[in-house]
Amino acid sequence: MHWKDKNEEGYENFNHLKDALAKEGKNLIFAMNGGMFNKDQSPTGLYIENGEILSKLDTQTQGYGNFYIQPNGIFYLTKDKKAKICKTTDFRPSTDILFATQSGPMLLINGKIHKALTKGSKNIHIRNGVGLLPNGNLVFGISKQKINFYDFASFFKDLGCQNALYLDGFVSKMYLPAKNWTDLGGEFGVIIAEHED
């Protein structure tokens, strides 16, 4: 997960991150916006990067926007490379957490679609999210067309995910040249990325 560069300036888009990684001899192979952000592009809620808490956990249960549809949740990676997605209320801080981002709402909770998500809803946007399969592998998903929350959650459910978290919508983008997704634009806070040396 990436937010700011060495000069403490936000990457903001995939192109800036790609260039920064290239200077370190690394090749960006996947990127996706990694959660909601404030007007100054700081992360909304908990954000941990390389074991350091850069934005505090938000335990408010009421507020404006999708982030506060309860329960919301946290996607995190531990130092031993295990992935977890849990409700914010179930999250336990630990020094073993290497990366974390908070967002909302949860899409799937223990294999079931979030009760607040309505089948046939007319609330449609491009959306992106992350799900966790029973074998511990992650699924990152983005809709090619505008979609409602229920149908987006169903995508992760049909793949067999037990828990899944909505990351963002409307601004959502992905960079994955192996699948002909090569949009390097955007304007984000946190970026989730995979790269190779």
Identify the band that residue 185 occupies on the pLDDT scale cut at 50, 70 and 90.
Answer: confident
| Distance of alpha carbon 27 from alpha carbon 194, whole angstroms | 9
pLDDT of amino acid 183: 87
Average of per-residue pLDDT across 183-195: 93
Residue 186 has pLDDT above 90, yes or no: no
Average of per-residue pLDDT across 133-142: 97
Rg of the Cα trace of the chain? 16
Q: Where are the domains of the chain?
A: 14-196
First-last CA distance in the chain = 16
**Of 28-32, 81-85, 182-186, which range is least confident?**
182-186
Residue 13 has pLDDT above 90, yes or no: yes
Dump pLDDT digits (tens) for 53-98. 999 999 999 998 999 999 999 999 999 999 999 999 999 999 999 9
pLDDT of amino acid 45: 97
| Closest to 164 measured CA to CA, from 155, 173, 175, 172 | 155
Residue 197 has pLDDT above 90, yes or no: no
E strands within 114-185? Answer: 127-132, 138-142, 163-169, 174-176, 181-182
Dump pLDDT digits (tens) for 162-181. 999 999 998 899 999 999 99
- In our burial notation (b when 16+ CB lie closer than 10 A, e otherwise), range 59-68 reads eeeeeeebbb
